Structure 1
Amino acid sequence: MDWLNRINKALDYIESNLEGEIDYSKVSQAACCSEYHFSRMFSSITDVSLSEYIRRRRLTLAAFEIQRSDIRIIDVAVKYGYDSADSFSRAFQKLHGINPSNARDKGVQLKAFPRISFQISIKGETEMEYRIENLDFELRIIGKKKTVETRRGFEIIPALWEEAVKEGFVQTLVDMSWENPKCKLESILGICGKQATINHEEFDYFMGVRYDGEVKEGMEAIVIPPSTWAVFPNTVEAWKRLYTEWIPTSGYELANLPCIECFYAPDHNPKDELWVPIIPK
């Protein structure tokens, strides 16, 4: 499968560069995917951020090397991308539970994190409902952004919305919506913004509505160009199955644009949808 081969090529590149500098643009190029989507795809499938995976692999190899040789700790630190022996020691102890120098002691217990590889898994016994939406105009979205820790995204984002309800921000968004309806995105929106680079452990989550009026005080605007979208009901379930089930067999690629979570009124069915930007292969 082409999708599977591309993802594993990206992991091949990472593995061959653990002892040097990893060019994150080359990681996404190997996967034929944007940096934004590769990072989200990796963490969604593996439940660990890409940067954390790389850190674990490097510290695994570092432990092997310390155990089987008399190499200096500072040389191992530099080899695996650390600026100092102190920063390496802190990371090593956090992962393995002991200082690097103690890794040479007989009988010590360390942790080894093996290389990840993706394989075909037979799924699809449950259908995935979706539709294609073509929006031939710019989406101008007004709201506020919050910084979210990638590995805790599914935990933090619901808490952000709860806080927004208490503070009255959600009601402000409700009051702004539906002024001049243009499409089915006339509701409260959560936009998973891009990381600056693929190895960032945080991303911007934008909470807003499609709105053509003036930017209100304390808010900002983002603009998404005309695009084609695959739309899935049930946002949480869609995120879980998007990268492993729909994208590999759909005939589409992910466009280099953010995904949008659309939350409708309580009496709407479905209650929420995931809008995913796509382009034909």
Structure 2
Amino acid sequence: MISELNRLIEVVEADLSDDLDIGALAASFGTTEYHLRRMFASLVGMPLSEYVRRRRMTVAAADVIAGDPLLQVAVRFGYGSAEAFGRAFRAVHGAAPIEVRTNGGPLPSQPQLTLRLTVHGATSMDTRIVDRPAFRLVGHAARVPLIHRSANPHIQAHVASLPAHEHARLTALGNTDPHGLLQISADVDSDYTEGSTLTYLHGVARDAATTTPEGLDVIEVPAGTWAVFRASGPYPAALQETYAASASEWFPSNPWLLRPGPSIVAILDRAEDFRSATTELWLPIVRQRDDV
């Protein structure tokens, strides 16, 4: 995966004016656009689209300072007008092109990235691969912003708004793996952009043949393969670290790709104050093609 991401960075650098066909590029690498974008965002800490924008404006700033006509610079970097270029330029640099031309900076810059895999090997990841038939996730859903680190207050507020008897009712409705009350994230931005919205479902898993009571939100989950990562420790830090390690250590070392679908967290055990917990993180995966 690291080599594919570095090839992607080289393609971006070769022509910063182009709108890349990431899907076609991913296919030529033997992977998928979904996996490529998610791995880039997880390893780099920013969406691929944001990296391209920052690199484009970093290189464009040199042309602006050099005195090239602004319309010419705009067209060179794929913008249809000097005004559109100016808005993009200000969004990255915090100043208009003419101001930068006059004052010369200082300007924030985005260096070209090179990714390297550091193999630690001191701690093995507790992972299992599970094939599951189709099932459904049922519960109470809300649209919330994506937050990478620490607890998500929007999710906390959503769960806290449910009466105690509803948690017990949901628990009784679950009848298939993963068991127990589940934290489910769906419709997540493929670039995993901080602040983008996702669907959060507080609910349980039910087999596909069982009817769902009225008044509950439902996510239908097709048959497929899942990677299940077990984590124990401070909550939610240990869980978030496990998710990060899946991108930086597990996926680059194993012949599996992320596929679209919900990610699921099952709480296996927890302290009374929820400051620590043992969890399972379920991620939908597909085997990487060997014929590319």
- Bin the TM-score by the shorter chain: 0.7 to 0.9
Instruction: State which of 180, 183, 188 in structure 1 corresponds to 2:177.
Output: 183
Residue in 2 that maps onto 1:141: 137
Residue in 2 that maps onto 1:91: 88
Q: What letter matches 1:273 in structure 2?
A: E
Q: Is the 8 A contact 1:10 1:31 kept in 2?
A: no
Q: Is the 8 A contact 1:19 1:81 kept in 2?
A: yes
Query: 5+ unaligned residues in a row in structure 1: which ranges?
Result: none
Report the CA distance between 1:82 and its aligned residue.
3.8
Residue in 2 that maps onto 1:48: 46
Does 1:163 pair with 2:157?
Answer: yes
Superposed CA deviations along residues 219-252 of structure 1, whole A, max 9, x for unmatched, are 5322121222221123212111011111121233
Q: What letter matches 1:189 in structure 2?
A: Q
Superposed CA deviations along residues 149-185 of structure 1, whole A, max 9, x for unmatched, are 5xx4445x62222111331178635522343522234
CA RMSD in angstroms, aligned pairs only: 3.0
Query: 5+ unaligned residues in a row in structure 2: which ranges?
Result: 232-238
Query: Distance between the aligned counterparts of 2:118 and 2:258, measured in 1?
Result: 21
Q: Is the 8 A contact 1:177 1:210 kept in 2?
A: no
Instruction: State which of 129, 142, 146 in structure 2 corresponds to 1:132.
Output: 129
Report the CA distance between 1:60 and its aligned residue.
0.7
Q: Relative to structure 1, is the Cα distance of residues 171 and 78 closer, same or farther in structure 2, using a 3 angstrom cutoff?
A: farther
Q: What letter matches 2:248 in structure 1?
A: T
Q: Is the 8 A contact 2:144 2:154 kept in 1?
A: no
Residue in 2 that maps onto 1:251: 255
Instruction: State which of 204, 211, 217 in structure 2 corresponds to 1:209.
Output: 204
Indicate the larger mover: 11-20 or 113-122: 11-20
Q: What letter matches 1:247 in structure 2?
A: F
Does 1:229 pair with 2:226?
Answer: yes
Report the CA distance between 1:45 and its aligned residue.
1.1
Normalising by the residue count of structure 2, what TM-score does the alignment of the two structures yield?
Answer: 0.79
Query: Distance between the aligned counterparts of 2:24 and 2:61, measured in 1?
Result: 27
Q: Is the 8 A contact 1:228 1:279 kept in 2?
A: yes
Residue in 1 that maps onto 2:234: none
Indicate the larger mover: 265-274 or 239-248: 265-274
Q: Is the 8 A contact 1:192 1:203 kept in 2?
A: no
Normalising by the residue count of structure 1, what TM-score does the alignment of the two structures yield?
Answer: 0.82
Q: Relative to structure 1, is the Cα distance of residues 97 and 278 closer, same or farther in structure 2, using a 3 angstrom cutoff?
A: closer
Q: What letter matches 1:166 in structure 2?
A: A
**Number of aligned positions between the proteins:** 272
Indicate the larger mover: 259-268 or 42-51: 259-268
Query: Distance between the aligned counterparts of 2:242 and 2:25, measured in 1?
Result: 25
Superposed CA deviations along residues 60-82 of structure 1, whole A, max 9, x for unmatched, are 111012122422x2332343344
Report the CA distance between 1:118 and its aligned residue.
1.2
Residue in 2 that maps onto 1:23: 21
Indicate the larger mover: 261-270 or 22-31: 261-270
Q: Relative to structure 1, is the Cα distance of residues 115 and 174 closer, same or farther in structure 2, using a 3 angstrom cutoff?
A: farther
Task: After the TM superposition, list the runs of 4 or more consecutive aligned residues in structure 1 that deviate by more than 4 angstroms.
Answer: 197-201, 267-270
Instruction: State which of 242, 255, 261 in structure 1 corresponds to 2:265.
Output: 261
Question: What SS is found at the alignment partner of 2:184?
Answer: strand
Question: What SS is found at the alignment partner of 1:271?
Answer: strand
